Amino acid sequence: MTYGCLAVWYYVSIFLQQASHEETGAATAKGQLSILDRDGMPSCTKHITERTFKGPPFGWGEIDFVKRDDLDKDRHLHDGCLTVLCDVTVTQHYADDHVEVAAPAAPPFDLRGQLAEAMWNIKKVDVQIEVGGETFPAHRWVLEAQSPVFKTELSLASTADMTTKLRIDDMDAEVFKALLRFMYTDSPPETSQLQEAAMAEKILVSADRYKLDKLKLICEKALCQHIDMTSLAATLALAERHRCSVLTAACIKFLSSPGNLEAFIAADGIKQLKERCPSALLDLAVKN
């Protein structure tokens, strides 16, 4: 690989081309370019994301790599020359000009539709998320667009080789898969997951954690179907912790039935409400 440096009136421009194309064919490479000061230390660096080089005249470059006014003559120039460090890693060679594109990482869920497939394939996977002992590939732009919490966490996560690595504790892998699938496809969790109260509750808690309000509401409505006398107090407490107005209203409606209310009072349920979810007790008092 070779590089060229061209100084225009306002900027220093740097371009990278593959000099060995005739002998080796096209190549895929990544790396970085840096302007060095007189001490050999980089003072301006641009990263080269992985791309395919096909030899002259095809290449990659930055026409506005650095402003000339930003260069310090005493610091950056030596005998009128500028030193550029070119750090390139060739990841693959091709025997001819037929460029094979690496298959994208397989999604960990059913994409369900051309739009979701386009969202998955439009860019390379650049995030790896470890959850519950499994690692899930994802796209940073999707996560940031769907969840402000993910946007904050990704900004603080470590990045190596252009891939951001994130670890999520206190969450099951199946729960995260449901969240990830929803963010890409806008599809609710599997019916079997919503029919299981414990799983629907876990997904609701995680959806609330990552501000996925639509998914949270889906889980609220699913949990409304699981309300009974044995689960009532715990469900009301869950609804209060996670500000689930639909689920709270369904519980109060269930409890307001004369037979249910009498049985709940007889089982010392009012004391439970007073200790665990006082706002629900107030709603019940107003309704009755």
* 91 or 104, higher pLDDT: 91
Whether 37 shows a pLDDT value over 90: the answer reads no
According to the model, what pLDDT value does residue 144 have?
Answer: 93
CATH of 2-93, picked from 2.60.210.10, 3.40.190.10, 3.30.1640.10, 3.30.428.10, is 2.60.210.10
According to the model, what pLDDT value does residue 8 have?
Answer: 41
Whether 101 shows a pLDDT value over 50: the answer reads no
- The structural domains of the chain, with segments of one domain joined by +, span 2-93, 103-189+197-212, 227-288
pLDDT tens digit string along 158-175?
Answer: 888 788 999 999 999 999
pLDDT grade for 147, boundaries at 50, 70 and 90: very high
Q: What CATH number has the domain spanning 103-189+197-212?
A: 3.30.710.10
Check for a shared fold between 2-93 and 103-189+197-212.
no
Q: Rounded mean pLDDT of 188-197? A: 94
pLDDT grade for 200, boundaries at 50, 70 and 90: very high
Whether 96 shows a pLDDT value over 60: the answer reads no
pLDDT tens digit string along 243-270?
Answer: 999 999 898 888 888 787 777 766 666 6
Q: Rounded mean pLDDT of 212-236? A: 93
pTM of the model: 0.58
The two structure tokens encoding residue 37:
């000061």
